[in-house]
Amino acid sequence: MTQEAKTPGTREAAMLLLSVGGDLAAEVFKNLGAKEVQRIGAAMTELGPLSQSEVDETLGRFLQDAENQAAIGLGADEFIRNTLTSALGADKASSLIDRILLGRSSKGLETLKWMDARSVADNIRLEHPQTIAIILAYLEPDQAADVLMRLPENVRPEVITRIATLDGVHPDALNKLDELIERRFSGAPASRTATLGGARSAANILNHLDGSQETAVLTSIRAADEPLAVQIEDLIFTFSDLTDIDDRSMQALLRDLPGEQLVVAMKAADETLKEKIYKNMSQRAGDMLKEDLATRGPMRLSDVEAAQKEILATARKLADAGQISLGGAKGESYV
């Protein structure tokens, strides 16, 4: 990484512009000098995969700076909402915006993000399922999935159902929950509301479970609410959905995958996806992959599903960092 690209301000600017999308980033670049564009552009190309917490933290700092310099008549919160909604669209921006704004002042819920899944599960397992649903909807999907699997098995479908049907949280209720958690772990007051939950949030959490666990939860939900189960399933991004991503994104994803992981994952892939992958590899790499697959003996389905989940996790990280696009109705990228 170049020395200029390592500087905190440049790196944060690169993260911010990758987060808000190409159109808005282009407008920002129009108002910068040549050296600034070159420096930030270099940093953008050198950024590795970014976690959601890194993106949230960077946008949060930008929000604070904007708040300090906000023009008269236009509050920083409104500025952030208008800007990110314009860049990302209302659906994709809503959850991210509220998570950023909530995170500035909600210390209780933020505390849970820094705890291991077992500790979170131990502290919320006796709460009402609706309370658990709100908490999991606030956590990052991979952490929420880990917490979910440490809760009693009979509770999981109800919690996912409540997340999927959650349509916002009343400010007073969220404020009380935040204060309750903060008193339990740190003892300071906090408040803020957020738009949490929904079928997409539930699907994103289930994306991080292994195949058998995901199936078990969805089966229980289907027995109680078939339309909701179908709605969640339609939003779950599966390994076969990688067929729908564009070639540039597939090439970027393949560069980030260990060869052994790809071989195992492709053992149960359909022919359409296999051809998509071969098409986006060099002739030599594709031939080697075909040979590896042909000579491999039987593999445990659980191992294959685990490798596919790891590849999907990598794809989502790259999409969150703006490095690839998970196109298609089921595969929209999230930030």
Which two structure tokens, joined as six digits, stand for 280? 């986006």
pLDDT of residue 189: 38
Query: Who's near 46: CB < 8 A, 6+ residues apart?
Result: 1, 2, 5
DSSP 67-81: HHTPPTT--HHHHHH
What is the DSSP secondary-structure string of 155-169? THHHHHHHHHT----
pLDDT, residue 104, reads 46
Q: Class assignment of domain 106-235?
A: mainly alpha
Tell how far CA 311 is from the center of its chain.
14
pLDDT at residue 212 greater than cutoff 80: no
Do the first three CATH levels of 106-235 and 239-320 match, i.e. the same topology? yes
- Residue ranges of domains in the chain: 3-104, 106-235, 239-320
Query: Which of 101-105, 146-150, 212-216, 234-238 is the most confident on average?
Result: 146-150
Helix count and strand count (H, E) for the chain: 21, 0
**Mean pLDDT for all residues in the chain:** 75
Q: 239-320 in CATH: which number?
A: 1.10.220.30
Share of the chain above pLDDT 90, in %: 8
Between 52-66, 91-105, 140-154, the lowest mean confidence (pLDDT) is in 91-105
Confidence of residue 38 (pLDDT cuts 50, 70, 90): low
% of the chain with per-residue pLDDT over 70: 70
pLDDT band at residue 331 under the 50/70/90 scheme: very low
Nearest 5°: the CA angle 51, 54, 260 is 20
What is the band of 234 on the pLDDT scale with cuts at 50, 70, 90?
Answer: confident
Overall residue count recorded for the chain in this entry:
335
Residue 52 has pLDDT above 90, yes or no: no
- Which residue type does 28 have? V
Task: For residues 139-151, give the mean pLDDT.
Answer: 89
Assess whether pLDDT exceeds 90 at residue 157: yes
pLDDT (average), residues 218-225: 88
Contacts of 302 (CB under 8 A, 6+ apart): 210, 211, 212
**pLDDT on residue 329:** 37
CA-to-CA distance for 23 and 29, rounded, in angstroms? 10
